[in-house]
Amino acid sequence: MAEIRALKSTAVSRTFIGPSLRAPAALLLVLAVVPLVTSSRSTLNLLTEIFILAVFAMSYDILLGYTGIVSFGHALFFGTGAYMAGLIIKHSAPSPGYLLVSVLATLVVAVIISLIIGYLSLRLKDAYYAMITLAFAELFLIIAEKWRSVTNGADGFSFQVPAFLQDRVVYYYVILIFLAVVVIFLRRFIDSPSGRVLQAIRENEQRAEFLGYDVLKFKLISTVVAGVVASLAGIAWALQQRFVSTGVLAADKTIDALLMTTIGGTGTLYGALIGSGLTNLAKHWLAELAKVHPIFERWYIIFGLLYILIVLFLPGGILGTLKRIWSTKASSINTQGTKLRS
């Protein structure tokens, strides 16, 4: 009987621990081997882009999935990071020292902007909050377009990157490490007491407030963490493209983050990587099919239909659905174990 209980508990632990711990480690190992298997420049660039946008989607998941906040202006932070890095390096020198200065400056600016915008907008709820965040993002977009002496407007500007980042393989590994560090940081933040309070606010904001938690303060913490991570993703994006334009501040970037988070699974963190991979691979594949048949030139329509199907049949996202299946399997194992013990 003791052996049966041990086997059942082992099976349950594997059900939960296996996918949450072993799978990411195995995936990281596989991704680390990719440059050793292929030297294709386009493949490495595509994977690097997926990693960067996955970080951006993870930052959005902190708001949407773990705090229950829908923001339409998250591209503001992404664009801030891209512009800060591009402008500082362009007007100084493409050296590791100035790159570090741009990162530190971006962190400070992202914290200040997220605190100001959060304090002014988080008192509003639901659609009103979403619309005011969109208004702030549009304000920054207009400033970037009109301030041509600095940003060169919609035409954008190019800049050089530090010599050690010019090798695409090196940059691939830098971004892969960056992705792993962000995942570890956000995982610890989510599992911290503050992260638990954010999830309580997501489930029932009024109850969390009745329990004595300062809801506004914790929402500000969520906004700051999400804004800082998004701005770091913006820096990585600018360094990969070696070019910055007002496109990094456009509402399309926020919509992309929303799509990636929803497709992968809100409130899962790892789902952002799945969503980023699927959306970017689908865009690349459908764009290539445009050379085969003119219908694929409207690939946005096809991608939109794909998104609708996922929302209808997988409302929890891909990873959310898988977690529900694992949970159901674990519950059945626990039920069988209880029957055996009785």
Closest to 46 (Cα-Cα) out of 242, 276, 233, 307: 276
pLDDT at residue 176 in the model: 95
Q: What are phi and psi of 159, to 5 degrees?
A: -155, 160
- Give the pLDDT band (50/70/90) at residue 49: very high
Cα(81)–Cα(78) distance, integer angstroms:
5
Highest mean pLDDT among 52-61, 250-259, 307-316: 52-61
| 26: pLDDT strictly greater than 90 | no
CATH classification of the domain holding 151:
1.10.3470
- Residue 39 within any structural domain of the chain: no
Q: What percentage of the chain exceeds 70 in pLDDT?
A: 87
Cα 96 from chain centre? 25
The residue with tokens 């820096």 is 235
Structural domain range at position 125: 2-33+44-341
* Strand ranges, E, within the chain: 157-158, 243-244
- Residue 38 within any structural domain of the chain: no
| 20: pLDDT strictly greater than 60 | no
- Give the pLDDT band (50/70/90) at residue 8: very low
Residue 55: CB partners within 8 Å, gap ≥ 6? 178, 179, 182, 229, 232, 233, 236, 272
Q: Are 88 and 98 in contact (CB under 8 A)?
A: yes
Closest to 175 (Cα-Cα) out of 44, 81, 283, 63: 44
Closest to 235 (Cα-Cα) out of 184, 154, 159, 183: 159
CA dist list (Å): 162 to 90, 173, 244:
11, 15, 16
Report the pLDDT averaged over residues 235-254: 93
Q: What percentage of the chain exceeds 90 in pLDDT?
A: 54
- Give the pLDDT band (50/70/90) at residue 19: very low
* Domain count of the fold of the chain: 1
The residue with tokens 């081997």 is 33
- Give the pLDDT band (50/70/90) at residue 339: low
| 190: pLDDT strictly greater than 90 | yes
Per residue in 155-182, pLDDT (tens digit) is 999 999 998 998 999 999 999 999 999 9
Cα(281)–Cα(283) distance, integer angstroms:
5
Per residue in 66-110, pLDDT (tens digit) is 999 999 999 999 999 999 999 999 998 889 999 999 999 999 999
Give residue 185's identity as a one-letter amino acid code.
F
Mean pLDDT of the chain: 85
- Residue 145 within any structural domain of the chain: yes
Structure tokens, 157:
């500007």
Cα 26 from chain centre? 20
- Residue 109 within any structural domain of the chain: yes
Comparison of pLDDT for 77 and 323, the residue scoring more: 77
Please give the model's pTM, rounded to 2 decimal places. Answer: 0.87
Structure tokens, 272:
């952002």
- Residue 102 within any structural domain of the chain: yes
pLDDT at residue 298 in the model: 67
Which residues on neighbouring strands pair with residue 244, listed in sequence order? 157
